[in-house]
């Protein structure tokens, strides 16, 4: 099998970007929230959980296609100022992927203080308007619960990548690559809670399925989350990560069964 035809490679990602650019106007999270555009639009978000170099490779491919998107970085694990600057210079939005409730074991006052400190570190590099919670499947704390007690607007933040979209009346199709599938069945916490009927438009297992769906019908508004570490630049990396994802998915099925 040729590497190019494998799924979850940067080449495949570029194919997806091509079909997105042909069929939609693509927005960053911040742009969408401030402009509330109409028509066929797609919001493109990236959570940089690991393997930070992949995010720059992805950002470059998008830039070649004339696409701008939002990249959320963790502190300190994926916080690399030089690389963040490079991604910003390609025109992308930089956001803060916070996990302060997990880090402080659910201590709200400590968590909000840490939130401010870490946000300041990002703002030494570039402006940050939006944030996105890191949904660690193994932590018992849900980081977005921070906003049941505090208001992110007080910290100069205009939107949260989950909460702000749950509050909008716009009818989005939410698509995420969690578990290296687009079918949305592998995520425990990384889910936008929606009342719309579009959680799983059709069976979109592979990126080719997604591309075909976008070309044929698509949805009017798409919200796509792609984790850069899942999109490999070479075959060795692809094999290693496929193996690890398989292990993670087995683990999540175990957790889901034991929850029920």
Which lies closer to Zn ion via its Cβ, residue 134 or residue 221? 134
Q: State the helix-helix crossing angle for 81-89 and 52-64, rounded to 10 degrees.
A: 10
Which lies closer to Zn ion via its Cβ, residue 139 or residue 194? 139
Q: How far is the CB of 121 from Zn ion (least distance, A)?
A: 17
Which lies closer to Zn ion via its Cβ, residue 14 or residue 139? 139
**C-alpha–C-alpha distance, residues 229 and 71, integer Å:** 12
**C-alpha–C-alpha distance, residues 142 and 226, integer Å:** 20
Tokens at 174, concatenated: 């939410």
DSSP per-residue letters across 168-199: ----EEEEE-TTS-SSS-S-SS------SS-S
Q: How far is the CB of 3 from Zn ion (least distance, A)?
A: 27
Residue written as token pair 């939609």: 24
Q: How far is the CB of 129 from Zn ion (least distance, A)?
A: 19
Q: What are phi and psi of 19, to 5 degrees?
A: -70, -30
Which lies closer to Zn ion via its Cβ, residue 19 or residue 131? 131
**C-alpha–C-alpha distance, residues 205 and 123, integer Å:** 38
Produce one character per residue of 84-96: b if its CB has 16 or more CB atoms within 10 Å, e if not. beebbebebbbbb
Which lies closer to Zn ion via its Cβ, residue 134 or residue 180? 134
Q: How far is the CB of 110 from Zn ion (least distance, A)?
A: 21
What radius of gyration do the chain's Cα atoms show?
Answer: 18
Which lies closer to Zn ion via its Cβ, residue 24 or residue 47? 47
Q: How far is the CB of 52 from Zn ion (least distance, A)?
A: 13
For residues 61 and 13, the answer to whether their CB atoms sit within 8 Å is: yes
Q: How far is the CB of 182 from Zn ion (least distance, A)?
A: 17
Contact positions vs Zn ion (CB under 5 A)? 47, 49, 134
């Amino acid at each position: 099998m040729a590497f190019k035809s494998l799924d979850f490679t940067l080449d495949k990602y570029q194919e997806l970007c091509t079909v997105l650019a042909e069929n939609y106007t693509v927005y960053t999270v911040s742009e969408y929230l401030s402009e509330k555009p109409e028509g066929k639009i797609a919001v493109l978000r990236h959570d940089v959980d690991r393997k930070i170099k992949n995010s720059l490779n992805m950002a470059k491919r998008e830039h070649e296609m004339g696409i701008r998107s939002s990249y959320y970085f963790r502190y300190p694990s994926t916080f690399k100022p030089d690389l963040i600057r490079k991604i910003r210079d390609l025109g992308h939005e930089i956001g803060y992927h916070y996990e302060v409730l997990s880090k402080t074991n659910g201590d709200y006052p400590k968590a909000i203080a840490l939130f401010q400190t870490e946000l300041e570190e990002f703002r030494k590099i570039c402006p940050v308007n939006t944030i996105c919670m890191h949904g660690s499947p193994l932590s018992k704390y849900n980081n977005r619960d921070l906003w049941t007690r505090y208001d992110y607007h007080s910290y100069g933040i205009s939107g949260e990548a989950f909460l702000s979209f749950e509050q909008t009346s716009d009818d989005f199709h939410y698509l995420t690559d969690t578990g290296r599938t687009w079918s949305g069945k592998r995520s425990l916490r990384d889910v936008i809670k929606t009342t719309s009927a579009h959680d799983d438009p059709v069976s979109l297992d592979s990126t080719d399925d997604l591309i075909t769906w976008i070309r044929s019908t698509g949805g009017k508004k798409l919200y796509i989350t792609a984790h850069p570490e899942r999109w490999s630049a070479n075959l060795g990396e692809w094999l290693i990560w496929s193996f690890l994802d398989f292990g993670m998915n087995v683990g999540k099925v175990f957790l889901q069964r034991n929850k029920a």
